[in-house]
Chain A
């Protein structure tokens, strides 16, 4: 049993080594995807061109301006004497935001009176404007404490406090989803194609006339791809950490366990598809449709599940990536133990068992 699984696995690895296109797709694609999505799918806004109107010209007001510039989000474009020319600058897109510090800024703060600075923003791109506003609030809030040593109490103001991703960097939020996406797509497609290829070429017919059992063939095919996908996953995670500073706070061991469960489900699904599809082309399309789209759209990768219509929310329960991404975010970003995400792990385990069982049953029936 083990020897025959091994014989198949060795053969599969040899084939993979010669078939550089598939090997490249499995190992290289995740890296490319990670780079593209990591950089392009960023909702972060940096280098905002800031116009400064400092009517106070005190030490305190200069410190406030400095705080904006030191935050890394803003670059100073112009210093103006009054706010009348701001309109022209916004129209010409010379500046995207403006900070106006009133003349009585120092006087009011010294007198412990509530005071405010004016933050003018180009709202034509609401998404960006929202993000920039968030930055500005944070900076002003931090200055209030730092400069004066006491918090100014303003009635009814929400004090946002963001945990786990305090800078709200989108890469940190996206990378776990990206990892799930890469693993799902590569494991499903790779295995589906590997089995269907044998059918298309006719080697399956010869294999069926040997004592090799369906389960041995299945394992022999799954193990090498599981290995390759794991390497791919580890590489992606390392890159995410190195390039996008995604912190890995939780246990790597648990991360590996959850990832393996998720991969097992993907491999099972790939084999299941291979028992339906007769050609590699069909297998490829089925894999893409059934693994890529749900992982992208219905897993909470990009669109939050809680804001979906109820019908779609129910549908997300059969998308394994949903559980994986949730568990991954818990482990990677929050660093919490299994007591917090065991339900996700159980769900992944159930999915993997059901799919692998289905795949085996279908495969056995065909043999």
Chain B
């Protein structure tokens, strides 16, 4: 059942904020609709009271990708197809471009947006792990306020974020990563296309004179929500970059994930796979 009684098509962010004033949760924002509409069909409690939808696809400010002052800004309503075909993002944020390619199908990527992916915050949201390792921040506006917070602080639980009913996410801001940070993204699903992630991992490494200066690791799908593994990062930084260290990091990643999830029926096969994926990703960086 689609409960919607009204669809609004604002042209500016100010207009969105006005429409969201005093929202008691019955007004929802829609962009691609690829999560909301299937949500309606299963009478998801998140959408069952959505009387009024605000479509944000006609607002230039939310559709732009810009680079300014060493920061990349991506509008919340930029689609995954637009991310994949954007040469700046491909060059500066290759993990995000790679993850975006693995999402859904061409039809889904033509509608689904980067903002929708983390605002919906499904455990399997494929763009979240790359955004986390790139230290993404998000810009949130309401009629009376404007703030910037770290993505990792915004994400609370599966399908839950800190977004209040009167707020809209307008941009994602990512500091242009240092050229020295090398990395990769891997997604494991049950098939190659239109697949839901079972395990995803994003890794960035900065190696200087054979010493790991910095490492950033984030998991998706295998943890309840996309998560930066700071304890492993802390453990690894300053270590010599050699095969032994990579194995240790991979083992720690598995342990760290187990600490978050507890032992599940699937842990027995998922944890060794995560560890192997992590090892292979780190190893691949060495090979270039």
**Same assembly:** no
A binding-site residues for B, Cβ under 8 Å = none
